[in-house]
Amino acid sequence: PRGERAELEDYKRSGYSRGHMAPAGDMPTPTAMAQSFSLANMVPQDIQHNGGAWAKIEQDTRRYIRRAKGDVFVITGPVFTPESPRIGNNGVGVPAYLFKLVYDQHDNRAWAHWQENREGERVGRPITYEELVKRTGVEFLPRLVVSQLN
């Protein structure tokens, strides 16, 4: 319902871009690409970060998937803190961090990119799956998979 979800108006003059969690460039069909522009697939993201470090992570992930020998699963998400600001009349939460978890089923490897949602953030070395779980408190992969990670 209105008032309980993000609206385009919330982003206007907020200083944040509408950062895709599932990038439009990853969509296999025009219909899927159009659906990726739903605000349910977006979070407020620092403009410079969205077009800079985060865009590089998205491109690098795409390149990796093209070279992979099997299925690769990607989970992207926001991480909020009690201090996370809010924007717009609907109080849309601005994540303090964004992550992108990559799991290569064929090679049985997993890693994550962890980024602060701020201007000037640079692409750093990926963190381990275990570190992502520690930082978020969420087990993203089934225990069987985790016990066999390389």
Contact 112, 129 (CB under 8 A): yes
Contact 73, 22 (CB under 8 A): no
Out of 20, 49, 106, 113, pick the active-site residue. Answer: 20
Contact 72, 105 (CB under 8 A): yes
**Whole-number Cα distances in Å, 7 to 26, 97, 125, 127, 133:** 24, 21, 34, 33, 31
Dist CA 64 CA 27 (whole Å): 16
20 is catalytic: yes
Residues marked active site are found at: 20
